[in-house]
């Protein structure tokens, strides 16, 4: 088995586990009317953090057409 395939399998397991567990937490939050909007705020916060981390990672990367060719 290739190591790349092993990593892909782990990602799939994590995604599947998250998808299986999340309704449990959302069910508890929906049970109280005062917490009914909490899952949406949590999801929005996670999305913003994810986007900021992606921005931080790629802000310094220039596309190939904008790179200055190396001089010899």
Structure tokens at 49: 């953090």
pLDDT at 54: 93
pLDDT of residue 10: 57
pTM: 0.58
Say yes or no to pLDDT of 18 above 80.
no
Report domain extents, the chain. Answer: 3-60
What percentage of the chain carries pLDDT values higher than 70? 81
Between the alpha carbon of residue 44 and those of residues 4, 17, 70, the distances in Å are: 31, 20, 42
CA dihedral 48→11→21→37, nearest 10 degrees, is: 10
Q: Band the pLDDT of 25: cuts 50, 70, 90.
A: confident
Average pLDDT over residues 16-31: 83
């Amino acid at each position: 088995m290739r190591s790349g395939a092993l990593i892909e399998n782990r990602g799939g397991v994590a995604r599947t586990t998250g998808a299986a567990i999340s309704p449990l937490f959302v069910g508890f939050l929906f049970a109280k009317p005062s917490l009914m909007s909490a899952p949406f705020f949590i999801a929005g916060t996670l999305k913003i953090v994810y986007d900021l981390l992606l921005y931080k990672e790629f802000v310094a990367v220039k596309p190939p057409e904008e790179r200055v060719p190396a001089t010899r």
